[in-house]
Amino acid sequence: MIIDVILKCCNRPWDITLYLDYWIEVFGQYPKYNIIIWNDSKIDLSEKYPDIKIVTKENFKFRDKLNSLLKNSCIKKRRWLDSGFAILSTFYIAETDIFWNIDADDMMFEKPVNMKILENIENYLRNNNLFSMSWDIWWSNFFRDTNHLIDFHRWAFGIACCKKDLKFLEDILTTIKSDEIVPPINIDNIVGSQLEKVKVFVFENTLAHQRPTREVWAHQYIHPLKVKAKGRTTNLYNATVFYEDKIITVNEF
């Protein structure tokens, strides 16, 4: 079964090909994955990656439809409309039922992720009828003190395995109101409000790196972390830890 991998690239003040090369190495070694680059940067990537399909805003045929959907959603700020367009374009570019939706311009791990772990995540998403599972950068990457309270937590796209369910996506975009989700009002928080359809995952014993501006490799592991959001302390969403040979679901922290 072929699975599309959409590598999203935006305009960045650093060399994004370092991150692109990492993800191409991760997925390119397995014939089941079809890599597509969504290029919203100002760089012509076709010379460096001549054998990979590259989609831009200029040749994206669903551009008007997606802009219209976002315009009629509760997202109003230009920053979040632009990021929403980049994230959601992948759902229209992908041609497979399950696909990977990855920020390939600022995220990578210390070493390539094993295919068995990728397949475990894909099967978990499919078997549990989920809309998306995403690696959660907002807690597992940087906050490792069990007694630490952070100011805000949200589910986020970034490194996500997704189901190509345009009806579900378009329904929540057009029906959810701004007072139903925790600010900021963006596509991450709209999708993250659908707790029965999304989950987070982590890779146990994995070092993660996000963009040069942070310059940090963080050790990722599960722990009982409480999160302080909007004046109240809440538990994190359910998480699932993926190993090569087993899956551990942590139902509640």
- Token readout for 244 is 């090569």
How are beta strands 3-10 and 33-40 bridged, if at all? Answer: parallel
CATH code reported for the domain at 3-250: 3.90.550
Higher-scoring residue by pLDDT: 147, 213:
213
Is the model's pLDDT at 244 over the cut of 70? no
Q: Kindly report, residue by residue over 147-164, the tens digit of the pLDDT.
A: 333 333 457 888 999 999
pLDDT of residue 249: 53
Q: Kindly report, residue by residue over 27-60, the tens digit of the pLDDT.
A: 999 999 999 999 999 899 999 999 999 999 999 9
pLDDT of residue 123: 92
Is the model's pLDDT at 7 over the cut of 90? yes
Is the model's pLDDT at 210 over the cut of 70? no
Cis peptide before 50 (omega within 30 of 0): no
Confidence of residue 212 (pLDDT cuts 50, 70, 90): low
Higher-scoring residue by pLDDT: 82, 156:
82
**Domain extents in the chain:** 3-250
Rounded to the nearest angstrom, the gap between the alpha carbon of residue 246 and the centroid of all alpha carbons in its chain is: 22
CA distance 253 to 12: 36
Look at residues 174, 165, 17 and name the one whose alpha carbon lies nearest to residue 101. Answer: 165
pLDDT of residue 15: 87
Residue type (1 letter), 124:
Y
Look at residues 9, 11, 5 and name the one whose alpha carbon lies nearest to residue 34. Answer: 5
Q: Which residues contact 175 (CB under 8 A, 6 or more apart)?
A: none
Mean pLDDT of all residues in 8-23 = 90
